[in-house]
Every structure is written in C-alpha cells, then in structure tokens.
A = this chain, B = another copy of it.
Amino acid sequence: MTSSPSGRPLRADAVRNRAKVLAAAEEVFAVRGTSASTEEVARKAGVGIGTVFRHFPTKESLLEAVLVALLERLAAEAEGLRTADDAGAAFFGFFRRVVAQAAAKQAVTEALAEAGVEMSADARAATGRAGPDLRAALGALLERAQEAGAVRADVGPAEVMALLAGMSYAAARAGAHEDVLRFAFDGLRPRP
C-alpha cells in the first residue's frame, strides 16, 4: 500500500514521515488554501523541506496525494454503511457528514469535484482508483436507498455526486448548513 516509487516497501521511519507530511499538508491546505507554500507544510510536519520533496517530488503530486487520501477516507466510510439497517438514513447521513467535513476542510470540496462524473484524463490519472471507488460506494448506498423508497428512482449516481460537490462548496464558502441541505434532500425524495 505505502511503497516507494521503486516498488520496494518503505522503511518504517519513512512511512511515519510520509504520513506526517500528508497530515500536515491536509491541514495547511485546508486552512490556507492550495497556494500555501510547501515550506509551511514541512514546518508544520516538523521535517526538512527536502523530506517533503523526497516523498512528493512536486507540489502538484503533494496536492494530489491529499485529494486521494480524502477520497479514500470518504469511500471507506461509505463502504462501511453498505449494510446499515436503515438505507435511507445511511444515504442521507453520509451526505450530511461529507458536507460537514467540507465545511471544515476546503480540500474536500475540490476532491469531490475532481472525483466527479466527467473527469479529465489528467484528474483521472491523478486520483487513481480513489475517485471510482467513492463513486461505486456512493452508488451502492444510493441504490439501496432507492429500493427502500427513501430516494426517488430517477436519480443517478452522477447527479448525486454533483449535488454533493455543490453542497460541499456551498457549506465551505457560502456558509450554508443544515438549512440548505433540507431543500436539497427534499429534491431527492420521492414526490409524495
């Protein structure tokens, strides 16, 4: 899972440092935006600037890694809800939690957008399996919720992803909260 570009497994301390750098990057980019300097990431991680570049040879690759990590976390969370008792609650709850995270971490929104339906070839390459994984897991939640009658039948996973990205953006930037989600959710429910 965590292996060097040469294919060999990383040394234990290298793994630790890689994780420290990634965590620091996530936080710094969330707070300061993606234009924050790599040097600040290094400082926050408590490592030398050279260490950051050993693990992520360009700033872009570091940004990508942050996105991938976020997507993987979300996909895992969705995956865990696949067998929940109440399919509707699982679906809407997941949606709600993603948006809440986005309100705290701007990067989440960008990650969602990148993972979105019609990705560019570049973005697809960048996020690797993480984007498709999330879409698949979300698709499964959606399907079960539809079967349970909690979500209308004429919605597709692509539309849900787009709504998710949009609501996350709104939460992060325009200060939207529960109030706004109410309407979005009503739009997804079967018309009475």
Contact = CB atoms under 8 A, between A and B. Distances in A.
Contacts of A161: 174
Stoichiometry, copies per complex: 4
A191 interface: yes
A162 to B, nearest CB: 3
Given A159-B180, A179-B159, A185 B186 contact: no
Given A179-B159, A180-B159, A170 B173 contact: no
A169 interface: yes
A162 B170 contact: yes
Nearest to A168: B166
A30 interface: no
Nearest to A34: B35
A117 B174 contact: yes
Interface residues of A, number: 35
Contact of A166 (B118, B170, B186, B188): B170
Contact of A117 (B162, B176, B192): B176
Contacts of A158: 179
A54 B170 CA distance: 35
A90 interface: no
Given A163-B180, A169-B170, 8 more contacts: A112-B174, A116-B175, A117-B176, A155-B183, A158-B179, A162-B170, A166-B176, A166-B180
